[in-house]
Structure 1
Amino acid sequence: MQELLYVSALAASVFMGISIGASTVASAFGPVNSARSANVLRAAFLAGFFAFIGALTQGAKVTETVGSGIIGGEIATVQAALILFIAALLVIVSVLGDYPMPTAFTVIGAVIGSGIAFGNPLRYQGIFKVIGYWILIPFLAVGLSFAIAKLLRRYVSKENSERKIKILLLVTGCYVAYSAGASAVGLAVGPLTGLIPSTGALLLMGGLSILMGAWLYSPRIIRAISFDYSNIGPRRSVAALGTAAILAQIGIFFGIPISFNEAVIASVIGSGLVEGKSNADTGKISRTVLAWTGAFFLSMALTAGAGFLILGL
């Protein structure tokens, strides 16, 4: 039975990595495809490759946070499988419904819910650090993307620098994919730290899973996302994605996974303010914030409920 649970936990981790590769990493190359800086298949290849490199080189801190910074004690095998299956299921459902659900919110919520059910002590300092940064991200993203968009508007001519903008957008997309892999790999493998003591092995497994998801499933999502970015132009796309990558790197430094959906949406709003206004639909933003907050508590509740059910059997 223990062997079956172990295999199930590994399968759930791979499933989560594939989900991340298909959704989170793909967002880096939507605007690249929109600006015709790379075709869809090449974009998917580059996204997966750079995400894999990011996972291997910078994924350790976030993995440590997810594995031991949110709840104390050892995460049991059945507990790890439960965390990853529920979080990945919520993400996959959102992808199939073309509604982006923040992976970071669902995984952290599931980790907390599992701790409540399985009796692991909650590390409130770590929880507040993560949630505090999530709350700061929209404000940081609006300000930073506004500043970057202002600089690009001033120094990069839209009419005379089309090739330069395309190259800059491609480089930014690669950097975002790298940062996404580094930030998100811990969400896929962090719960397994008690099962697999080697961080290097965990990061390799998570990185390969993300690579697989990006290569197999991200082309469809890249095509869909490219239409969203086609309306804001390549310079605003550079500002939005560059901001998301910078915020991800700050989070990685402190071991905090971020939601790229949250960072990019706020960055698009900030870059739009350069033109004196933003096309943001405040009603839609409010509904999105409520949905994401609901996703956090839903994953927590589902994992806690399933955990109590398993322990009661």
Structure 2
Amino acid sequence: MVEVLLAIGIIASIFVGFNIGGSSTGIAWGPPVGAGIVIKTTAAGLMTFFVFLGGWTVGRNVMDTLSGGIITTELTLSAGVAVLFFIGLGILAANIFGVPVPTSMTTVGAIAGLGLATDSLNYATVTEILSYWIVTPFVGFWIGGIIGRYIYPKVNQRVQIEKSDGPLLTIHRTGAVPKPTFGPNTTWSELSGTAVVLILGCYMAFSAGASNVPNAAAPLVGGVGGVKPNVAILIATLAIGVGGFTIARRTMESVGSELSNIPLLAALFVMFTASTITTLLSWIGIPISLVLATVMTIVGIGWGRATRPVTVREAITRDTGDPTIVSGAITAEGIEGKSAAPIGGDEPEEMVDAGDLFNPRAIIKYLSMWIIGPSISTILAYGFFLFIPGVA
């Protein structure tokens, strides 16, 4: 019986990991894929490797919280299997719409539903986690705001990341040892810019592994008959990789173009900020959403960039005589045919609505899925364990 339950649990873990791969790969690699820096297949391969590193190292701290911190009793294998299915359903609901879902929030919701139904919820731990969930969006927003107002414009004046026609590198095989050389149109600036993009993509994949591998692995570890943590991490990583190579293609397109067609340089600032926030919180064992940190950083950079013509006080209080300043604009178009001033220079007197650069409807869709995904897992888990208490 235990063997059958374990087999079902592994299938459920693969199901969850598969959907995590579809969501997280889009967040980590959507901007580079959208900019044509890397193809989707290469992105999925890099994602799989660095997700494994993140889950194998920092992710163990999050596993401890999920498997033994949210509820006061041991998470049994049977309960873990049920929780995995509820997590997967919540994530799948978002992937169907092609948007990344906050997986950690969905996982905590499912385990909290178990705790509520069995009167074993550790309210102190859940309160601590919720406090970080509330603070993180503000941290991401204000860091993004500082970058958008003071850092990004100056860096953008000096750094250009562009992709030329043709291959980045070519291999010469005339000698005994093949030697890589620049492509026909490659410059040192393009090569260094591409390297930065790839490094940050890998860093973001690492942070995704630290926060998301435990979501698929932790429920398999607890109880009699559960698997070893190392085995659970391997199973989760492989499942995430499969999701990255398959359903993540749609999510990469969504993140790369629909949410905000921001310049690649701004996307790199977003990737670094969101990855750092997620990795640090995962290090202290807090299940945190990479999606949440990413999107709120995008919003912050847009707000900071759009409000540069006014003081911070005027931007916050809206005490400004210019009603056309638009929160969310990363770049500005000219007014009545006039070209916008270079970023970092004097701003035009007015900035037009950058609706094509920052899509409010897309943000609303993302926010709704942040609520729908975790809510589905929590409600289903609570109802299931309430009416079938023997499983827990």
TM-score (norm 1): 0.90
Q: RMSD of the TM alignment (CA)?
A: 2.4
Match of 1:178 among 206, 227, 230: 206
Q: 1:293 and 2:371 equivalent?
A: yes
Q: How high is the sequence identity, in percent, across the aligned residues?
A: 29
CA distance in 1, matches of 2:155, 2:260: 21
Question: Which secondary structure state, in structure 1, belongs to the residue aligned with residue 73 of structure 2?
Answer: coil
**Residue 271 (structure 1) aligns with:** 301
Give the residue type in structure 2 aligned to 1:136.
Answer: V
Deviates more, 1:151-160 or 1:51-60: 151-160
| 1:307 corresponds to | 385
User: SS where residue 72 of structure 2 aligns?
Assistant: coil
Q: Which residue of 1 aligns with 2:95?
A: 95
1:218 is displaced (CA, Å) by 2.2
- SS of the aligned residue for 2:93 comes to helix
Aligned to 2:247, the other structure's residue is in SS state helix
Please list, as runs of the form range in 1=range in 2, the aligned pairs for 1:196-207 lying within 5 A after superposition: 196=226, 198-207=228-237
- The 5 Å alignment of 1:229-248 reads 231-248=261-278
C-alpha spacing 1:287/1:218, structure 2 compared with 1 (3 Å): closer
2:10 aligns with 10
Conservation of the 8 A alpha-carbon contact between 2:12 and 2:81: yes
Shift of 1:23: 1.1
Measure, in 1, the Cα distance between the counterparts of 2:140 and 2:160. Answer: 28
Mapped pair 1:110 → 2:110:
yes
Question: Which stretch shifts more, 148-157 or 280-289?
Answer: 280-289
Counterpart CA distance in 2 for 1:39 and 1:178 is 19
- Rounded to whole Å, the distance in 1 between the matches of 2:11 and 2:161 is 47
Provide structure 2 residue ranges, at least 5 long, that are not aligned to the other structure.
Answer: 163-189, 307-326, 330-357
SS in 2 for 1:24: helix
Partner of 1:74: 74
User: Deviations along 1:239-289, whole A, 9 cap, x unmatched?
Assistant: 211111011012112211222221111111111123223146778756754
Instruction: Give the conservation status (yes or no) of the 8 Å contact 2:31–2:264.
Output: yes
Once structures 1 and 2 are overlaid, which stretch shifts more, 98-107 or 18-27? 98-107
How far, CA to CA, are the matches of 1:14 and 1:159 in structure 2?
A: 42
In structure 1, the partner of 2:135 is: 136
In structure 2, distance between residues paired with 1:59 and 1:3: 26
Change (3 A) 1:297 1:40: closer
Identify the range of structure 1 (95-104 vs 283-292) with the bigger mean alpha-carbon deviation.
Answer: 283-292
For 1:216 and 1:58, locate their aligned partners in 2 and report how far apart those are by CA, in whole Å. 26
Is 2:39 the partner of 1:39? yes
Q: CA deviation at 1:78?
A: 2.1
Give the Cα–Cα distance (whole angstroms) in 2 for the partners of residues 7 and 284 of structure 1.
39
Q: Of the two, which has the highest radius of gyration?
A: 2
Question: Which one has the bigger helix percentage?
Answer: 1
CA 1:278–1:160 in structure 2 vs 1: closer, same or farther (change >3 Å)? closer
Q: Which amino acid aligns with 2:284?
A: F
Q: CA deviation at 1:58?
A: 1.8
Worse-superposed segment, 283-292 or 169-178: 283-292
Instruction: Tell me the SS of whatever aligns to 1:101.
Output: coil
CA deviations 1:134-166 (Å, max 9, x no partner) are 101111001222334442431343674542444
Q: Tell me the equivalent position of 2:243.
A: 213
- Supply the AA of the counterpart residue of 1:74: E
CA distance in 2, matches of 1:230, 1:167: 23
* Distance (Å, rounded) in 2 between the aligned partners of 1:281 and 1:219: 20
TM-score after normalising by structure 2: 0.73
Aligned length in residues:
312
